[in-house]
Amino acid sequence: MSVLEQPIAAFDVQKIRSDFPILRRDVHPGVPLIYLDSTATSQKPRQVIDAMDEFYRHSNANIHRGIHALAEESTAAYELARERIAAFIGAPSPRELIFTRNTTESINLVTQSWGRANLNPGDIVILTEMEHHSNLVPWQMLAQERNLRLEFIPVTAEGLLDLDEYTSLLKLEPKMVAFAQMSNVLGTINPAAEIIRMAHAAGALTLVDGAQSVPHLPVNVRALDADFVAFSAHKMLGPSGIGILYGRKSLLEAMPPFLGGGDMIRRVELRSFQSNTLPYKFEAGTPAIAEAIGFGAAVDYLANLGMEAVERHEQKIIHYALERLEEIPGVKVFGPAAEHKGGVASFTLPEAHAHDISQVLDTDGIAVRAGHHCAMPLHDKFGITATARASFYVYNTLEEVDRLVDGIYKVKKLFA
Ligand code: C6P
C-alpha cells in the first residue's frame, strides 16, 4: 500500500489545530495564518504554554540548590522533563541527556569538549555537503585551532548523499563522522543507521544533527547506535532557548567540562575544582527551567500523537505538495522524491527572487522562509543563492498546500 493510501484516521488534524492558539489569528486584517515555516521553528500547543505558565504561577524556584518545598518541586519537574525526553528518544539513561540552549550549542559542546580532548593535527572529520552552518562552523573552528582535515560526503544532483564516496572517505580512517539525519533545505532523510554502522566499522565516532529528524521521525538513539545526537525543543512544539545533547555515557564521562560555574562542580577550592557527575557536569549556571518543563510537555504531546503517525501525516502532505508544485510551470523543487524526504519543499521560480515570493505569499497570510536557510555551501553547490521554503508539521493540511499553490500562481502573475 502506498503512503498516500494508508489510513491516518487516528490523526485528527482539526483537533490538533485546535490546540494551537496562534493558528486562530489573522496575520493581516481578515487574512488567517497559514504557517509553513516549522523547519525554522514550530508553533506551540496550549499544553506546552500551560505547563510553563503553571510552573511560573505555582512552582517557580531555582533547582538543585534549595531544600524548601518550591525548590524541591521545581527540581523534580526539571528532572522529570529530562526523563520524558530520554524515554522519547530511547536513551538508556536520562543521565546521558545534557540540557543545552539548542542544537547549535549541543554541537559546540562536542567540538569544544570531546574534540579538543581527542583530536590532534592531521586527524580527519567527515561532514556532508548538506550540513547546516551549525554542523559546519564549529568543526571549522576546531579544524583551524587543531589543524584537522575536514572531508565531505558529496550530495548528488538528486539531493542524496553519495554513499560510494562515503565508503572511500572512510578508508582515510576518520575519527568522527558528523551529519544531519534530515536536511533542512532538501528535506532528504539520510540513512542514519547505515552511516553510523559504516563509521563504527571504520573506527570513527558519530554525531547526528537531529534538529530536523527528532521533531518529525521516530528516532531511537539505541537503535541508531549513535554516539552523540543534538536537537532543539523549539522545532518540536517546545519553547526556544533549550536543546539536548544526547551522548553515550562512557564518552560523556571521559569528556572535560564545557562551561564552568555553579552546579557543574562537586567541590571548589580557590585554585581548583572537581567536576560534578553526569549530566550536571555539563550544565553550568541556572538552566532554562520553565523551558525544560515546556520541552517535557512537548514530547508528551508528540508521543501521544505517535511519531509513526506524525511521519505518515507529513509524508502524505509532502507527496501532495510535490505533485501540486511540479504542476506549476517553471517551479524547481530541490531535493529527492517524496519517499526519501520529510515535509520540506525548497523551490525557485524563474520570474521572482525567493524574497519576493515570500513577501507576496505573506499578503495571503502564508509564512514561508526565503534565503539560504543557514546552508550556504549547499546553495553554492546547486548554483543558487536562495530558495523559498515551505515546510510542514502536524498541524498542516492539504488545503494549505492548495493555498500555497494559488499564492505561487499569484507571484508568477505579478512578476510575469
Ligand atoms: N534550522 C531553519 O530554518 P538551532 O538554531 O540551534 O535550534 O538549530 C540549528 C540547526 C541545526 N541543524 C539543522 C539541520 C537545522 O535545520 C538547524 C536550524 C533552522 O532551517 C533555523 S536556521
Cβ atoms of 21 and 49 within 8 Å: the answer is yes
Which pLDDT value is given to residue 5? 55
H helices then E strands: how many in the chain?
A: 16, 17
Domain coordinates in residue numbering, the chain? 3-41+307-415, 49-304
Q: Please pick, among 27, 31, 141, 374, the residue that the annotation labels catalytic.
A: 374
Quick one: which atom of ligand 1 is closest to the CA of 102? 6
**Which residue, chain included where needed, has cell 510542514?**
392
**Candidates 232, 237, 242, 393: which one to mutate for ligand 1, based on the most atoms within 8 Å of Cβ?**
232
> Mean pLDDT of all residues in the chain?
96
Q: Residue 255: name the closest of 120, 115, 143, 141 by CA.
A: 115
Distances in whole angstroms, Cα of residue 80 to Cα of each of 48, 75, 94, 177, 278: 15, 8, 9, 32, 16
Task: In whole angstroms, give the CA distance from residue 217 to residue 324.
Answer: 24
Percent of the chain with pLDDT over 70: 98
Q: Does domain 49-304 have CATH number 3.40.640.10?
A: yes
Task: Calculate how far, in angstroms, residue 261's C-alpha sits from the geometric centre of ligand 1.
Answer: 27
Position 3 pLDDT exceeds 50: no
pLDDT 10s digits, 74-104 = 999 999 999 999 999 999 999 999 999 999 9
* The pLDDT value given to residue 65: 78
pTM, two decimal places: 0.97
Query: CA 198 to CA 41: how far, in whole Å?
Result: 32
pLDDT per position as a tens digit, 134-179: 999 999 999 999 999 999 999 999 999 999 999 999 999 999 999 9
Does the annotation count 246 as an active-site position? no
C-beta atoms surrounding 380 within 10 Å: 12
CA–CA separation, 51 and 300 (whole Å): 11
The 10s digit of each residue's pLDDT in 236-264 is: 999 999 999 999 999 999 999 999 999 99
Q: In this model, does residue 9 exceed pLDDT 60? A: no
3-41+307-415 is a CATH 3.40.50.12710 domain:
no
pLDDT tens, residue by residue, 16-63 = 999 999 999 999 999 999 999 999 999 999 999 999 999 999 999 999
Q: In a 3-state reduction of DSSP, which class is residue 290?
A: helix
From atom 21 of ligand 1, which residue's Cα is the shortest distance away?
40
Looking only at Cα atoms, what is the longest distance across the chain?
Answer: 71
Cα–Cα distance for residue pair 292/281, rounded to 1 Å: 17
